[in-house]
Amino acid sequence: MTSSAPSVDTWLYPVGSGIYCEPGDFYVDPGRMVDRAVITHGHSDHARAGHGAVLATAETIAIMKVRYGEDCAGSFQPLALGEAISINGVRVRLAPAGHILGSAQVVIEWAGRRAVISGDYKRASDPTCAPFELVSCDVFVTEATFALPVFRHEKASHEAEKLLASLAAEPDRTHLVGAYNLGKCQRMIRVVRDAGYDKPIYLHGAVMALTDLYQKLGIDLGALHAVSETDAKTMRGGIVMCPPSALGDRWSRRFGDPVTAFASGWMRVRGRARQLGVELPLVVSDHVDWPELIQTVIETEAEEIWVTHGREDALVHYLGSIGRKARALALVGYGEEAE
Amino acid sequence: MRAFARLLDCLVYTQSRNRKVALLGHYFRTAPDPDRGWALAALTDGVPIRIPLRRMLSDLVTRFIDPVLYRLSRDYVGDTAETVSLLWPDDRVIVSTADASEAQPASDEKPRQLALEFTPPPTAPRRGEGRNGLFPSPLREVNRDGPNIGDNSGEPPELSLGAVVAAMADGTTAERTERLGHILDQLDATGRWALLKLIGGAPRVGVSARLARTALAESYARDVSEVEEIWHALTPPYLDLFQWLDGTAERPDPGSKPVFRPVMLAHPIEEEDWPRLSAEDFAAEWKWDGIRVQIAARGGEVRMFSRQGDDISGAFPEIRSAFHGHDCVVDGELLVMRDGVIAPFNDLQQRLNRKTVTPKMMQMYPPHVRLYDLLFDGHEDLRGLSFEERRRRLEEWHANHHPRLTDVSPLVPFKTFGELGELWSSARAEGIEGLMLKRRLSPYQAGRVKGEWFKWKRAALTLDCVLMYAQRGSGKRSSYYSDYTFGVWKTDDNGETQLVPVGKAYSGFTDEELLILDKWIRGHTTEAFGPVRAVEPEIVFEVAFDSVQPSTRHKSGVAMRFPRIHRIRWDKPAAEADTLESVLGLVGGSASNAEAASSNSA
């Protein structure tokens, strides 16, 4: 990279609720309707309806269509992971982020500089999406959802075994697993399958459409049935997947005395789990934990770290203390979708 | 350590009392000595280790983590023990608590009992050397499923609770800090958390001292009173107690120690009880509005116990000194009293639930014990005697010894229940909760014995209050908004009215009403904060309560005592609910005030 090139923040900068690339005239994950948007992944705080043109992976486009309808953007242009295009002379490539199916980092190169907008990402293994690709860059834009050193996520396979052990110990109680309905839910089903569980798994209505889509896109999740079409007795002692909000909802009463489980990185902290009345906390996250976050930031060799959302205070402080240039972007509306 | 860590970890997430009892019972029956005794101590009176734990932890943690990150983490987590357990590096873990299934009582498998004593590995490199922060060196290489560090036997060495307690028992603070660091190094996050709960006091895992003793007794098919009677003569790790429960030794003899004797309790009197009772069989006394206590004095030691058998003497040195040198067990009501006048319950509350007390508090809230009964006079057990006989002995004993800060609760003379009823309905003096009826021939027995003692609480006051906030319940009610905060109207200087909260209740309605309320709340939420919802001010509850007292807990400046939902006034518009003035008129609790206040809004 040439040192005479204009610094990245002269052509790439936060505008209200998203990041704008001036020479390319496009936004990344904008929070309001824009003419041209590059979308990192399908979670609602990153992908919104109503843009003129959307560039994203085919999977992310499919997810957006399921969530918001076929015509939720003026036009869609799929770009495969690893492929690059040029937008007004700005080179844009999508690199896998390892967050959920279709999730991508946006690699933007212009005037001899490279910035990576990572969206949400993780480094731990996830059989439902492509693994994170490390891209060295000048500016690395990162989330900070779990940017406190207390956050170290467990291996998902370990937490799946914990769930199966609880099922074995409490064979008469239905296990209600609260998991975010895009990504976490399907990953939990997959890792439970990998741990050897082959009985049908029951789904809350709110997780069905996206789970169907995952299966259509080639993620094998085994036998799945709708809770609404199944007798409560049949589900006794089985696994029911639902959105976290349903755990304390009237909907959950049909299961009698269920074991309530919640798959989330927040479950690392007992107080959080107790506050929610969770009996079986499963520390599974689709975000990087603290060690992975710090490792990733260092491995990108970025001169500058921009922090989008989460615990930016802790991360910016820490990176500063080890001699890295870091700043919080203070974007509006990020991190609203539950982990 | 592994079994103990799993026990605490399961307890913390378990809501059902029966499941907690099963978990505890399983642990007590399977864990080795002295570990189970130390565990029992941690859950009851605390492990007797005196160390400046917070300072030691801060010293250890800031060796490898930036103090700002430590502070941010602690603020987020909200609990020092848990923060440290989560922050501590995992790279030298050799005792894993993985596989939660083994802690289930349903499992036949006994927890592994590896009694290897703790020995600090002296040659291993210290954690954090040359590092400025928590860098993961290669990604996720920490073994969470089992031990692998320098141990070829395949079995992890187990850290016993006894070894931990021994390591913390003596030495300088600096030495103990180093030892604590070495122990933390060997444990995984759950183990570290449990360790700090073991030595930190007050583990707050949803188990009261009484529940722990109950679970212990029940798991050995004993009555909890059998354990409680000797409890305060025992010391951790309770080897003699476990030997007796295991059937290998006699029941420990409390000997010359003052111990708790299970308390005799009363049933609330019901309408259908009256025809079955004869006035001449009963003595009556006032039911004072304090807390029931038992004072045991023997051999120069004095203990004051709550009704549940918790030792609360620490916070009441005046009572200890008043009974010093006596040899007795008495039953009475603890009150705060100034110049012979009983202070509101709220004053007593200032002195409860603390381990120590300041001279200022002693001066502001002077305690007093109003005596009801005499259980032991010297070594003579009076509990088999009739109430009448014990009462005579109590008066005699008190006249002879007269410990300071005590008096005898007077009997209330009456000929007929009708006469007593009149006394009862006119009794609203401060400090009186109602009347007690005690069968003259009743011996002193543990618990609520049918037909012997009755409590006749004075009629409740009622006010119409407006539902303001609803919170989800716990356990079986966790999907229902079943805890209600309600308020009354307050008019400010500009003539604007607003609701101010006066109390919270979660009982008094039927399951059907709960369903309706729950549905209504979900449809009329104006704001949600975590498990709490603010609702539109529309539902009026007729709230019954025993009295109103000044309080700093609510914005209204008052709090109701024992509030419960009496009726849901679907018919009443919220604007016609009671006002703060009506409530303030009830402070101190006189019947005429109550009538005047409620007639305003009726």
> Which residue from A151, A279, A291 is facing B136, i.e. has the nearest CB?
A291
Q: Which residue is closest to A247 within chain B, CA to CA? A: B479
> Which residue from A149, A158, A169 is facing B69, i.e. has the nearest CB?
A149
| C-alpha pair distances (Å), B395 with each of B320, B330, B403, B494, B590 | 21, 12, 12, 59, 31
Backbone angles phi, psi at A163, to 5 degrees: -65, -45
| C-alpha pair distances (Å), B128 with each of A8, B42, B67 | 36, 31, 14
> Which residue from B76, B104, B478 is facing A148, i.e. has the nearest CB?
B76
Q: How far apart are CA B484 and CA B190, in angstroms?
A: 35
> Is residue A11's pLDDT more than 60?
yes
Of A131, A142, A73, A75, nearest in space to A106 by CA = A142
Strand partners, A76: A54
Contact A158 B144 (CB under 8 A): yes
Q: Lowest mean pLDDT: which of B63-72, B213-222, B472-481?
A: B472-481
Backbone angles phi, psi at B127, to 5 degrees: -60, 145
> Is residue A176's pLDDT more than 90?
yes
**How far apart are the CA of A249 and the nearest CA of chain B, in angstroms?**
5
3-state helix, strand, coil in chain B (%, to 5): 35, 20, 40
| pLDDT confidence of residue A69 | 96
Please say whether the beta carbons of A189 and A160 come within 8 A. no
Contact B144 A155 (CB under 8 A): yes
- Chain B hits for A256, CB-CB cut-off 8 Å, are none
Contact B136 A294 (CB under 8 A): yes
Q: What is the DSSP letter of A256?
A: S
B223-232 tens-digit pLDDT: 998 999 899 8
Contact B101 A168 (CB under 8 A): yes
Strand partners, B331: B294, B373
Q: How far apart are CA B591 and CA B21, in angstroms?
A: 44
| pLDDT confidence of residue B107 | 35
> Is residue B446's pLDDT more than 90?
no
Single-letter residue type at B420: L
Helices (H) and strands (E) in chain B, counts: 20, 22
Please say whether the beta carbons of A314 and A24 come within 8 A. no
A202-238 tens-digit pLDDT: 999 999 999 999 999 999 999 999 999 999 999 999 9
* CA within 13 Å, CB half, B371: 27
User: Does residue B546 sit in helix, strand or coil?
Assistant: coil
B406-428 tens-digit pLDDT: 999 999 999 999 999 888 877 66
Multiple choice CATH, A8-150+287-328, 3.30.300.210, 3.40.50.720, 3.60.15.10, 3.40.1010.10: 3.60.15.10
A126-168 tens-digit pLDDT: 999 999 999 999 999 999 999 999 999 989 999 999 999 999 9
Contact B134 A252 (CB under 8 A): no
Of B597, B506, B601, nearest in space to B548 by CA = B597
**How far apart are the CA of A58 and the nearest CA of chain B, in angstroms?**
30
Of the residues B20, B197, B287, B438, only one is catalytic, namely B287
Q: How far apart are CA B220 and CA B412, in angstroms?
A: 43
Q: How far apart are CA A277 and CA B16, in angstroms?
A: 12
| pLDDT confidence of residue A9 | 93
Percent of chain A scoring above 90 in pLDDT: 86
Q: Around Cβ B376, how many Cβ atoms within 10 Å?
A: 18
| pLDDT confidence of residue B477 | 74
**How far apart are the CA of A61 and the nearest CA of chain B, in angstroms?**
32
Q: Does the model's ipTM exceed the 0.85 cut?
A: yes
The whole-chain average pLDDT of chain B stands at 84
Q: Where are the domains of chain B?
A: 51-197, 264-457, 461-601
Give the pTM. 0.76
Catalytic annotation on B287?
yes
| pLDDT confidence of residue B555 | 78
Concatenated DSSP letters of A98-109: SSSTT-EEEEEE
Tokens of residue B94, six digits: 């050799």
- The more confidently predicted of residues A170 and B146 is A170
- Chain B hits for A252, CB-CB cut-off 8 Å, are 479
Reply yes or no: is the peptide bond before residue B237 cis, omega within 30 of 0.
yes
Please say whether the beta carbons of B560 and B545 come within 8 A. yes
Single-letter residue type at B158: E
Quickly list H helices, B335-378: 345-349, 359-364
- Chain A hits for B82, CB-CB cut-off 8 Å, are 269-271
Q: Lowest mean pLDDT: which of A101-105, A286-290, B117-121?
A: B117-121
CATH 2.40.50.140 fits B461-601, yes or no: yes
Of A319, A249, A28, A115, nearest in space to B480 by CA = A249
Q: Which CATH architecture has domain B264-457?
A: 2-Layer Sandwich (3.30)
**How far apart are the CA of A172 and the nearest CA of chain B, in angstroms?**
12
A255-290 tens-digit pLDDT: 988 999 999 999 999 888 887 889 999 999 999 999
A63-90 tens-digit pLDDT: 999 999 999 999 999 999 999 999 999 9
- Chain B hits for A310, CB-CB cut-off 8 Å, are none
Q: Which CATH architecture has domain A156-282?
A: 3-Layer(aba) Sandwich (3.40)
**How far apart are the CA of B104 and the nearest CA of chain A, in angstroms?**
7
Contact A269 B82 (CB under 8 A): yes
Q: Which residue is closest to A313 within chain B, CA to CA? A: B72
| pLDDT confidence of residue B118 | 33
Strand partners, B564: B544
Kindly state the average pLDDT of the residues A95-111: 97
Please say whether the beta carbons of B538 and B574 come within 8 A. yes
The whole-chain average pLDDT of chain A stands at 93
Of B325, B327, B323, B351, nearest in space to B337 by CA = B351
> Is residue B439's pLDDT more than 70?
yes
Kindly state the average pLDDT of the residues B202-206: 84
Q: Which residue is closest to B135 within chain A, CA to CA? A: A291
Q: Where are the domains of chain A?
A: 8-150+287-328, 156-282
Q: How far apart are CA A159 and CA B500, in angstroms?
A: 46
B450-490 tens-digit pLDDT: 899 999 887 778 899 999 999 988 766 777 889 999 999 99
